[in-house]
Amino acid sequence: MSAEKDASGSGLRRVCVIGLGHIGLPTASVLATAGVHVIGVDVDPRIVEVINSGNIHIQEQDLDVLVRAAVLSGQLRATCQVEEADAFLIAVPTPFREGYAPDLTAVQDAVRAVLRVIRKGNLVILESTCPVGTTEALVAAPLEEQGYKVGTDVFVAYCPERVLPGRVLKELVDNDRVIGGMTPNCTVRATELYRKFVRGQCHITGCRTAELVKLAENAYRDANIAFANEMSMVCAEMGIDVWELIGLANRHPRVSILRPGPGVGGHCIAVDPWFIVSRAPTTARLIRKAREVNIEKAHWTVERIMRAARGLERPTIAVLGVAYKADVDDVRESPALEIARALKARQVGRIVIVDPHVSEVPGFEILPLSRAIAEADIVAVMVPHRAFRPLPPLDGKKLLDFCGLTSEVPDA
């Protein structure tokens, strides 16, 4: 069978998912549930051991049930080595280095591993968020250098994930997907794989457009959050209640100001805009400025807490929430965690942390909510976890609510 004919066939029975983190593991489990034999690959032996025992190393609704069933059925197996497969799906981290330059080391390592086992007719999909041109330069080009013709011998595509933590399994299936192949044949082959589990629409485009779509989505969200965060600082300067302001402004039929917070975290919104800036440093001015505003909001939050601590002798400050958003355990790029670290570094007092989803933060005491508030002089609310509602009586303690937990403003 020719490679071109196989591109529209059903030869995607064995898939190797590289990277078993917040996206890779749910994707592997969903594929396995759809009847695909999945080899999950991760560089961390501990993660591999946990998954092969039918357990999970991350917090995500219903993921434990799906992984356990997939492992017990033999449809999912984890390993530290990339193995032969019909398709390779790369979902490894892409953080940034100092100066916000993209760090694509994990992608390069994954591609090198794939090159050792790839065969004609195979499909390689990059899901990791990357700067525009990454799929072409780091996936397609090395394959061409090995003598494979992309679109005929092997197939390469980029397909970004677009899911919400806490709803990943549902959104992997129900959300639309943007699929960008290096050639039309590549797009056909990639779409065939996603059609095995995606109920949403598969939107076809070019590879570079698909890369930028993901970045644009998160840069858009970052800019809107930056407006809310900047407005909260303006309100503080003018002595105005930002939560009342937003509630009233949002009564306008075409206005929907988001809820401000102590900054922006997570592996997407806090990172992806820099990938646009890295490729268009003089043009992406608004995108850069939004990032700077959201970074500054964390510094501003530290100063507000420091101001509240003046006149108190070594106060106890309870930081409520260190995950990057409500009701998840993910602390990647968390502004709340960085604020707690900054306060500790300044030796403003005793810093204790309360977070029902995070069991350990090196260097910090983690206390139950009631005890932390009982012992605190200052209560700084960073993340509106459901478990914090309603707050226990504060009995005159200083309350600094940076996320609107105690306000009446609904989530946008």
3-state secondary structure 240-270: CCHHHHHHHHCCCCCCCCCCCCCCCCCCCCC
pLDDT at 4: 37
Check pLDDT > 70 for residue 119.
Answer: yes
Give the three-class secondary structure for 316: strand
Asked, for residue 1, whether it belongs to a domain, the answer is no
- One domain for residues 182 and 146: yes
Asked, for residue 101, whether it belongs to a domain, the answer is yes
- One domain for residues 61 and 152: yes
Q: Which pLDDT band, with edges at 50, 70 and 90, does 10 fall under?
A: low
- Six token digits for residue 346: 């300044």
Q: What is the mean pLDDT of residues 44-50?
A: 97
Chain segment 281-292, per-residue pLDDT in tens: 999 999 999 999
186 catalytic residue (yes or no): no
- One domain for residues 158 and 182: yes
**Whole-Å CA distances, 351 to 156, 300, 301, 324, 372:** 49, 18, 15, 18, 10
Q: Which pLDDT band, with edges at 50, 70 and 90, does 15 fall under?
A: very high
User: What is the overall mean pLDDT for the chain?
Assistant: 94
pLDDT at 266: 87
**Of 200, 228, 255, which residue constitutes the final position of a domain?**
200
Note whether 354 and 367 are within 8 A (CB): yes
214 catalytic residue (yes or no): yes
Q: What is the mean pLDDT of residues 316-335?
A: 94
pLDDT at 9: 43
Asked, for residue 207, whether it belongs to a domain, the answer is no
- One domain for residues 110 and 168: yes
- One domain for residues 224 and 195: no
- One domain for residues 130 and 239: no
- Six token digits for residue 42: 């991760």
- Rounded to two decimals, the pTM is 0.89
Q: Beta strands 202-206 and 316-320: pairing type?
A: unpaired
Distance CA 167, CA 160 (A): 16
Q: What is the mean pLDDT of residues 195-208?
A: 96
Catalytic residue, chosen from 268, 297, 325, 403, is: 268
Asked, for residue 238, whether it belongs to a domain, the answer is yes
Distance CA 126, CA 132 (A): 12
Asked, for residue 209, whether it belongs to a domain, the answer is no
Closest CA to 275 of 98, 97, 132: 132
For the chain, how many structural domains are there in total? Answer: 2
- One domain for residues 193 and 266: no
Asked, for residue 273, whether it belongs to a domain, the answer is yes
Q: What is the mean pLDDT of residues 317-333?
A: 94
- One domain for residues 172 and 293: no
- One domain for residues 283 and 389: yes
- One domain for residues 230 and 194: no
**Of 200, 233, 266, which residue constitutes the final position of a domain?**
200
Lateral strand order in the sheet of 155-158: 76-79, 37-41, 14-18, 87-90, 123-126, 155-158, 177-181, 202-206
- One domain for residues 57 and 195: yes
Distance CA 114, CA 87 (A): 10
Q: What is the mean pLDDT of residues 379-389?
A: 96
Catalytic residue, chosen from 16, 186, 214, 403, is: 214
pLDDT at 162: 86
Asked, for residue 412, whether it belongs to a domain, the answer is no
**Of 151, 176, 200, which residue constitutes the final position of a domain?**
200
Q: Which pLDDT band, with edges at 50, 70 and 90, does 363 fall under?
A: very high
Q: CATH no. for residue 76?
A: 3.40.50.720
- One domain for residues 113 and 255: no
Asked, for residue 170, whether it belongs to a domain, the answer is yes
Residue-range definition of the domain harbouring residue 112:
9-200
Query: Hunting for tokens 């002798």 — which residue is that?
Result: 313
**Whole-Å CA distances, 396 to 167, 301, 376, 379, 381:** 38, 21, 11, 11, 16
